[in-house]
Structures are given as C-alpha cells and as structure tokens.
Amino acid sequence: QTLYTYPENWRAFKALIAAQYSGAKIKVLSTPPQFHFGQTNKTPEFLKKFPVGKVPAFEGDDGFCVFESNAIAHYVGNDELRGSTKEAAAQIIQWVSFADSDIVPPASTWVFPTLGIMHYNKQATEYAKEEVKRILGVLDSHLKTRTFLVGERVTLADITVVCTLLWLYKQVLEPSFRQPYDNVNRWFVTCINQPQFKAVLGEVKLCEKMAQFDA
Amino acid sequence: QTLYTYPENWRAFKALIAAQYSGAKIKVLSTPPQFHFGQTNKTPEFLKKFPVGKVPAFEGDDGFCVFESNAIAHYVGNDELRGSTKEAAAQIIQWVSFADSDIVPPASTWVFPTLGIMHYNKQATEYAKEEVKRILGVLDSHLKTRTFLVGERVTLADITVVCTLLWLYKQVLEPSFRQPYDNVNRWFVTCINQPQFKAVLGEVKLCEKMAQFDA
Amino acid sequence: MAVNFLMHDKVWFDKFKYDDAERKYYEHMNG
C-alpha cells in the first residue's frame, strides 16, 4: 500500500502512526524519482486517482484510492483507534475536527514565519499566540482527569492532535510558555514516547527557546 | 436529546438531516429563553459541558455531550450514513474533510459580504469565485458516473457537502455560473428533494441573480 | 529542506476573522 507525500509532512505522520498501531504495511513515496511534489501530483495519471491533486494521498494494493489525511489515517488504522463505541467514535471526530478548525490556523500563523516560509505579521502572530493559549487551556482542563483524549488508550484523536501540535512544541512552545499547561505537556510527552509514535516521529526535541521570525 | 445552536445554522442542519435518516429525536434549542446565542454559550454550566463554547453542541438524554458539527452528525446518524465498509467510511471522511478544508473558506469569502457579515474585498472575492469553480469541477467529474458521493445511497458525505454548498446555491450560484456543472446541480437538487433534507431545509430556492455585496 | 514543502500546506490563515464576523453577526441577529 502506498502513501504519496512530500517529506516530513505532519499530515502524513497521522496515517503512518495509525499504521504502526494497526500493523498496516505502507510504502512512502516522497522523493524523486518515485514522487516529485509539485510535478507527480499534477500528472494526469495522478489526478485520475486523486482529482484534487493534494498530498498525502493513499493507494491500496487493491487500487482503492483516498485523499485527505484524516480519511487515510482512519482507513489504515483499526477499530481501537477509530473508537469502539458510538460515543468514542463521535468524541474522536470531535477532537480531530477541533484540531483542523481551531489548532491548524493559529499554529501555522505563528510557526510559518519562524521557518521563513511566510512573512511575519506582528498583529497576526500576537493573535495566534492568544489562540494557542486558549487551545492549550481547553486541552489542559480536558486532560486534567484523563491520560488520553478519548477513553483509556491512544486513538486517532491523540494521534491527530499530537501531529497538529508537533511544530508548535518543536518550534515555539518554550518552557515558560508551556509551563501553565502541564497536563497537555504530560500527555504530549507520553504520546511521543509510545513506540508507535517514535517509529514515525523519531526523537522529538521540545523547544527550548521560542524561535523568532526568520527575516 | 438536545441540540444547542442559533437559528438557521447550516452546520446544525447536518446533524438534523442525519437524525431524519436515523430516526433520532432531537429537540433544537435556538432561541431565548431556552438558548440565547452569545449568552447561554458563555455561562459556566454550558462551558462545563462544552469547553470550547461553540455551537452546534449536542447533549444526549444520557448526559453524553459532544461539540463539532461533524461529530454530532456522526453520532445522531446511523451505520448506513457513516459508511458500512472501511472503504466507504474512509471516502465519507474524505468528502467531509474536503468540504471543511476546500469549500468553507471560499464559500464564506464570497457569501459573507453579500449577507453583510464581512466587508467586501474585490480581490478576495474574485479568488474565491475561481476556487468555487475548481471545487464544482472536482465534484462534477466525480458525479458524472455517480448518483451520490459515496456508494449508492445518501451518506454523511452528501449531507455535509450539500449543507456546505447551501449558501452558495441560495445566494450566488446564478444559472449562468452553475450551468457548466450539471452533474453537481442534478445531485444537489436530488438531495434537497429527499424528504429527510426537505424536513430540515424546507423549500430551497436556487439563486436566480448573483447577490452582490451588501454595503 | 523539507520545511519548504510546508509552505504548500493549505491553511485558512484568515479563518479567525471569518469566525469572529460570523459569531458577531449571529449574536447580533439573536441580540
């Protein structure tokens, strides 16, 4: 089974970690000549399988094709990760939606300028920092009485929210900023130390000094 | 079972249509004194149940609480709507994610100024129109050989994408603009004429004249 | 460097503006 993506794509990590839990074998095509981001995903044969041309994109060995990272992670995962009850499944979707709608925009606004891939805008960054504090506060109170986001074990909710927070924790959440959210920090460090996460993410070094924008 | 929302919330329509298919009985609290948007959802008791304070928010008669519209629709729906195979479930999540990531931004950018919700920005609107053409093109080629988005019957994919396109079809997709996408038009009209959609949406009048921004 | 691919990530940077405007509009409508 094949996953097309560019290298180090946090959205692809979601599916790869899910596959570590389910045992699904996935071949990652992310570098030329197998996959050249910006070219391969614009070819007619790629667009025939994946009409939106986005990555990550998944092709099963039976020819089954699916795009959108949450759909791929759901497909390569297992029932445990998807939620074994109606309630668990709904709460997992709740946190996955929350990650996409409430975490991705401020996290990208804050982190991208520090990577030099977007212009720095002081007002937008300050607003994004406040949004990140709000989000970490929501997660922190939820995790006060819980080890994982839904139920007693890792699910797609933890995998998705960890991958969505990855750049924040690596790039800008320095100790003084993340100090008020110790339930989130505990949960995040627990997850990234699970063998299935480590197999995909390797050693995740938490930010020591908040990266400033890279002029 | 209770759904908290403000009136005429297209995100809430997803759950209400799903409930029409599953037979789930939902009481909608959307107007004072039961629910006052901007006040009730900021009270401590509401935030205790729904820490993000967003609507729609759902509370089961067993006290089960969930927010995020996709999670609520999934919970009040049934297995048919969620996808009865792993493949169908993944493809439904694919279209639901596509609606949130690719349709909501340009649809909001184009429609909000015509409702007086946001200031008009010519460049942003022109870009949004091109994005809407791209999206309708993707859906049109997918629906060339299909009646519904996934499998042979209505699923959460159709319910979600129809509700996400609702404002576009009502407000700005005048006949000349939507003419090239007749597979999407056929699919959209088929869905809104299903009794389960009509029970929630009532009579949907397709746009005759593209609304201009409401200065 | 892999980081540069990230710039192709599809992000709605203005989402907060639209969320804010929508919230105010419906709070006003239900005022």
Q: What is the pLDDT of residues A85-125, one digit of tens each?
A: 999 999 999 999 999 999 999 999 999 999 999 999 999 99
Mean pLDDT of the B156-168 span: 98
Q: Cα–Cα–Cα angle for B68, B72, B74, nearest 5°? A: 120
Q: What is the pLDDT of residue B135?
A: 98
Q: What is the pLDDT of residue C31?
A: 78
Q: Are the beta carbons of A26 and A16 closer than 8 angstroms?
A: yes
Q: What is the pLDDT of residue A215?
A: 65
Question: A110: which 2 tokens?
Answer: 């804050």
| Interchain contact, A93 vs B101, CB within 8 Å | no
Q: Where are the alpha helices (DSSP H) in chain B?
A: 10-22, 44-49, 69-76, 79-82, 86-98, 104-115, 122-142, 156-171, 175-178, 182-192, 195-201
In which residue are the tokens 């005022």 written? C31
| Interchain contact, B100 vs A102, CB within 8 Å | no
Q: In this model, does residue C18 exceed pLDDT 80?
A: yes
Q: In this model, does residue B182 exceed pLDDT 90?
A: yes
Identify the closest residue of chain A to B102 by CA–CA distance.
A52
Q: Are the beta carbons of A24 and A82 closer than 8 angstroms?
A: no
B8/C4: higher pLDDT: B8
For residues A147 and A95, give the distance between their C-alpha atoms in angstroms, rounded to a whole number: 15
For residues C27 and C31, give the distance between their C-alpha atoms in angstroms, rounded to a whole number: 6
A-C C-beta contacts closer than 8 Å: 41
For testing contact with chain A, the best of B55, B62, B97 (most A CBs within 10 A): B97
Q: Which residues of A touch B (CB under 8 A)?
A: 51-52, 64, 66-72, 74-75, 86-87, 89-91, 93-94, 97-98, 100-102, 138, 141-142
Q: Decide: helix, strand or coil at residue A59.
A: strand
Which DSSP category does B195 fall into?
A: H
Chain A residues in contact with C20 by the CB 8 A cut-off are: none
What pLDDT band is residue B215 in, cutting at 50, 70 and 90?
A: low
| Interchain contact, A105 vs C2, CB within 8 Å | no
Compute mean pLDDT per 10 residues along chain A, 215 residues long, and list them.
96 98 98 96 97 97 98 98 97 98 98 94 96 98 98 98 98 98 98 98 97 83
Tell me the pLDDT tens digit for each residue of B21-32.
Answer: 999 999 999 999
- Residue-averaged pLDDT of chain A: 97
Lowest mean pLDDT among B102-106, B120-124, C4-8: C4-8
| Interchain contact, A69 vs B94, CB within 8 Å | no
Name which of B71, C3, B54, C12 is nearest A104 in CA terms: C12
Q: Decide: helix, strand or coil at residue A65.
A: strand
| Interchain contact, A108 vs C9, CB within 8 Å | yes
What pLDDT band is residue C2 in, cutting at 50, 70 and 90?
A: low
Which DSSP category does B2 fall into?
A: E
Task: Tell me the torsion sign for CA atoms B139, B145, B147, B153.
Answer: negative
What pLDDT band is residue C3 in, cutting at 50, 70 and 90?
A: confident
Is-above-0.95 flag for pTM? yes
Tell me the pLDDT tens digit for each residue of B32-42.
Answer: 999 999 999 99
Name which of A154, A74, A19, A59 is nearest B83 in CA terms: A74
For residues B164 and B82, give the distance between their C-alpha atoms in angstroms, rounded to a whole number: 18
Q: What is the pLDDT of residue C1?
A: 57
Q: Decide: helix, strand or coil at residue A165.
A: helix
Identify the closest residue of chain A to B141 by CA–CA distance.
A51
| Interchain contact, C16 vs A108, CB within 8 Å | no
For residues A98 and C8, give the distance between their C-alpha atoms in angstroms, rounded to a whole number: 22
Tell me the pLDDT tens digit for each residue of B76-119.
Answer: 999 999 999 999 999 999 999 999 999 999 999 999 999 999 99
| Interchain contact, A105 vs C15, CB within 8 Å | yes
Mean pLDDT of the C2-9 span: 84
What amino acid occupies position B146?
A: R
> In whole angstroms, how large is the CA radius of gyration of chain B?
18
- Residue-averaged pLDDT of chain C: 90
Minimal Cα–Cα distance from A44 to chain B, Å?
Answer: 14
Q: In this model, does residue B69 exceed pLDDT 70?
A: yes
Positions of E strands within chain A: 2-4, 27-29, 57-59, 65-67
For testing contact with chain B, the best of C8, C9, C16, C23 (most B CBs within 10 A): C23
For residues B212 and B171, give the distance between their C-alpha atoms in angstroms, rounded to a whole number: 9
Chain B residues in contact with C22 by the CB 8 A cut-off are: 108, 112, 117
In which residue are the tokens 């996953």 written? A3
Q: Maximum distance among all alpha carbons in chain A? A: 51
Burial class (CB in 10 A: 0-12, 13-18, 19+), B141: middle
Q: How far is CA B193 from CA A147, B20, B112, B164, B204, in A?
A: 46, 13, 26, 16, 9
| Interchain contact, B138 vs A64, CB within 8 Å | no
